[in-house]
């Protein structure tokens, strides 16, 4: 393979804080280089340097043998380097054809020409998309494929993907991996960032471990395993979690009876006990998102009944849910727009409300403890939340909700973008919260996470709750079978998720 990109001794800062402290790595044509690191290790800053959105302070980069140091993403794009960020956004009003060619020199062409070129690209990639379909009607996995097609249209030789598959279910990740392998067969190179250690082993040729602003080690993916990668990341072994195979023993907290939302959710019935972690799984079009939004008051149900602690309740809006002590952390929240200090964001987690100096000291210690437990990377707890990495902002938001005193807490993909060490801490904190009697509903596309964390798991398909599986009687393959209605073996899949 030919060398495409080389970076030597790269230093970079953000908000007067040195983030990269001498990074060195290389990428060959036809290679997928996996990049892993804990939240705050510098992954996004490094990708910003490579993609032209962040200036480095020192160091040398070469691209195809030529000196490389883009001043903008447009300049990087002109050099053949493209970035798909974790929280990518596409104008929902654009057609797929317009979205693929946006930002390229072809963007101004007549629509029929764009459509024909998009159809050819889609056919070459081997996926099923209509170029005239509006992006806003696509599920996240399809939007991710549109972004990959954009990289192809830009003729990007180096494609950087930052946690693009973070909330995609296994079967969608498998399709994405198939497309990426086709791209590298064309001689392109990919840098693939993910917190899913099993996934990075399956898709990458080599894996670079970024720790505290430096590349600590680069390994051949075929000669390593999850335990070694986790140890290199955390410098300690994970304790591991015992599956909650026994049913939750608390009284009933929530009962849903024949709940419907027009044709999206049809006559769903289930209950959640106090102290239970109840998992929900389903594809993006299964109705599972609409179901949790109905319980949280985001979208009102059209028929059915909800009982809280045995009493019938009506949830017409978010304020009704909050008044009833039903909390909801949505995966649609734009953490990039979080404002205020880290201290303010975590005060509730430390039982906030300081009445005197002693209370203030106690509260401060509580904030520091939350930062330690959730492995939030910061040197200044009074700094702005916006200075944190995306994963660390997610942790702050999660900690806020966990401290609200809800009786029922609904979490959608709470570990999205969170590193493996912090994910372990999140599970322990959720377990502690459930032991206080809080009923937790956990929506996740990470089936290993559901099996590791939940007492029972409900599966939605085509608007219906098709099964509720006791943890002791299920596994990832059973769940996917119910999600798709067909047999799908995750055990040998390229998209198998990490088991913590």
- Using a pLDDT cut of 70, give the percent of the chain over it: 90
Element housing 460 (H / E): strand 456-461
**Same domain? 225 vs 272:** no
294-341 pLDDT, tens digit per residue, is 999 999 899 999 999 999 999 999 999 999 999 998 876 444 455 677
Domain end among 205, 234, 263: 234
**Same domain? 136 vs 80:** yes
Ordered DSSP codes for 40-69: TSSHHHHHHHHHTSS--SEEEEEETTEE--
363: pLDDT strictly greater than 80: no
Structure tokens belonging to residue 322: 């909050």
**Residue 429, in any domain of the structure:** yes
The highest-confidence range among 301-315, 337-351, 373-387, by mean pLDDT, is 301-315
407-435 pLDDT, tens digit per residue, is 999 998 888 778 887 787 788 888 888 88
**Same domain? 196 vs 140:** yes
pLDDT band at 495 (very low <50, low <70, confident <90, very high): very low
**Same domain? 264 vs 209:** no
According to the model, what pLDDT value does residue 494 have?
39
Among 334-338, 381-385, 400-404, where is mean pLDDT lowest? 334-338
What does the radius of gyration of the chain's CA atoms come to, in whole angstroms? 23
According to the model, what pLDDT value does residue 499 have?
33
**Same domain? 219 vs 262:** no
496 three-class SS: coil
**Residue 198, in any domain of the structure:** yes
Residue with tokens 């709470």: 414
pTM for the structure as a whole: 0.80
**Same domain? 201 vs 270:** no
Q: Could you list the residue range(s) of the whole structural domain that residue 300 is in?
A: 252-484
- Residues in the chain, total: 500
pLDDT band at 346 (very low <50, low <70, confident <90, very high): confident
**Residue 493, in any domain of the structure:** no
**Distance of CA 217 to CAs 36, 211, 227, 236, Å?**
10, 9, 15, 16
201-256 pLDDT, tens digit per residue, is 999 999 999 998 999 999 999 999 998 999 999 887 766 667 887 777 789 999 99
287-297 pLDDT, tens digit per residue, is 999 999 999 99
**Residue 187, in any domain of the structure:** yes
Q: Express the helix, strand and coil content of the chain in percent, nearest 5 each.
A: 35, 25, 40
Domain end among 203, 234, 265: 234
**Same domain? 288 vs 170:** no
Tally of domains within the chain: 2
List the one residue out of 411, 497, 457, 479 whose CA is nearest residue 200: 497
- Sort 486 into a burial class: Cβ within 10 Å, 0-12 / 13-18 / 19+: exposed
DSSP code at position 325? T
For residue 474, what are the contacts with CB-CB under 8 A and spacing of at least 6?
A: 451, 457
Ordered DSSP codes for 187-255: T-EEEEE-S-HHHHHHH-SEEEEEETTEEEEEEEGGG--HHHHHHHHHSS---------SPP-SPEEEE
126: pLDDT strictly greater than 50: yes
**Same domain? 214 vs 265:** no
**CA 90/CA 84 separation, integer angstroms:** 11
The residue with greater pLDDT, 395 or 483, is: 483
**Residue 347, in any domain of the structure:** yes
The residue with greater pLDDT, 165 or 360, is: 165
pLDDT band at 356 (very low <50, low <70, confident <90, very high): low
Among 162-166, 462-466, 481-485, where is mean pLDDT lowest? 162-166
For helices 390-402 and 420-435, give the axis angle rounded to 10 degrees. 10
**CA 61/CA 59 separation, integer angstroms:** 7
Domain with 314 in it: what CATH number?
A: 3.40.50.300
List the one residue out of 150, 171, 163 whose CA is nearest residue 96: 150
Torsion of CA 314, 319, 321, 325, to 10 degrees: -130
According to the model, what pLDDT value does residue 343 have?
76
136 within 8 A of 93, measured Cβ to Cβ: yes
Query: Parallel, antiparallel, or unpaired: how do β-strands 456-461 and 439-443 relate?
Result: unpaired
83 within 8 A of 47, measured Cβ to Cβ: yes
**Distance of CA 231 to CAs 90, 237, 365, Å?**
37, 5, 28
According to the model, what pLDDT value does residue 490 have?
47
**Residue 247, in any domain of the structure:** no
**CA 403/CA 496 separation, integer angstroms:** 32
Average pLDDT, the chain: 86
489: pLDDT strictly greater than 70: no
pLDDT band at 171 (very low <50, low <70, confident <90, very high): confident
**Same domain? 228 vs 257:** no
**Residue 498, in any domain of the structure:** no
**Residue 138, in any domain of the structure:** yes
443: pLDDT strictly greater than 90: yes
According to the model, what pLDDT value does residue 491 have?
45
- CA end-to-end span of the chain: 35
107: pLDDT strictly greater than 50: yes
According to the model, what pLDDT value does residue 39 have?
82
Average of per-residue pLDDT across 184-209:
94
């Amino acid at each position: 393979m030919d060398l495409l990109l080389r970076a030597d001794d790269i230093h970079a800062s953000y908000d007067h804080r040195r983030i990269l402290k001498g990074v060195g790595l290389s990428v060959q044509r036809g290679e997928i280089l996996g990049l892993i690191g804990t939240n705050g290790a510098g992954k996004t800053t490094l990708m910003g340097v490579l993609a032209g959105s962040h200036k480095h302070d020192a160091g040398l980069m070469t691209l195809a043998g030529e000196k490389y140091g883009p001043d903008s993403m447009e300049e990087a794009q002109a050099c053949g380097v493209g970035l798909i960020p974790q929280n990518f956004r596409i104008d929902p009003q654009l057609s797929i054809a317009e979205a693929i060619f946006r930002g390229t020199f072809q963007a101004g062409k007549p629509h029929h020409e764009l459509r024909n070129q998009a159809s050819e690209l889609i056919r070459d990639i081997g996926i099923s998309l209509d170029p005239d379909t509006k992006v806003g009607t696509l599920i996240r996995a399809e939007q991710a494929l549109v972004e990959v097609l954009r990289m192809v249209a830009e003729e990007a030789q180096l494609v950087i993907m930052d946690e693009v598959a973070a909330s995609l279910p296994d079967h969608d990740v498998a399709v994405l991996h198939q497309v990426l392998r086709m791209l590298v067969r064309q001689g392109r190179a990919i840098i693939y960032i993910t917190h899913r250690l099993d996934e990075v082993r399956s898709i990458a040729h080599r894996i670079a471990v970024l720790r505290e602003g430096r590349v600590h080690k680069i390994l051949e993916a075929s000669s390593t395993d999850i335990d070694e990668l986790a140890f290199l990341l955390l410098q300690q072994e994970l304790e591991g979690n015992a599956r909650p195979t026994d049913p939750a023993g608390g009284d009933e907290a929530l009962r849903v009876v024949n709940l419907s939302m027009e044709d999206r959710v049809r006559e769903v019935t289930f209950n959640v006990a106090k102290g239970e972690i109840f998992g929900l799984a389903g594809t993006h079009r299964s109705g599972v998102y609409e179901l949790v939004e109905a319980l949280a008051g985001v979208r009102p149900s059209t028929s059915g009944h909800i009982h809280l602690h045995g009493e019938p309740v009506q949830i017409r809006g978010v304020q009704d849910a909050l008044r009833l002590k039903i909390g909801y952390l949505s995966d649609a929240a734009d953490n990039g727009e979080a404002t205020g200090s880290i201290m303010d964001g975590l005060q509730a987690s430390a039982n906030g409300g300081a009445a005197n100096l002693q209370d203030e000291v106690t509260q401060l210690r509580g904030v520091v403890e939350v930062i330690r437990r959730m492995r939030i990377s910061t040197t200044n707890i009074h700094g702005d939340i916006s200075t944190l990495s995306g994963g660390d902002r997610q942790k702050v938001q999660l900690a806020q909700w966990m401290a609200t005193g809800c009786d029922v807490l609904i979490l959608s993909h709470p570990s999205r973008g969170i590193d493996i060490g912090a994910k372990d801490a999140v599970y322990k904190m959720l377990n502690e919260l459930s032991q206080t009697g809080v009923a937790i509903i956990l929506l996740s596309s990470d089936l290993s996470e559901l099996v590791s964390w939940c007492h029972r798991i409900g599966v939605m398909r085509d608007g219906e709750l098709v099964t509720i599986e006791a943890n002791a009687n299920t596994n990832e393959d059973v769940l996917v079978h119910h999600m798709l209605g067909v047999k799908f073996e995750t055990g040998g899949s390229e998209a198998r998720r990490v088991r913590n």
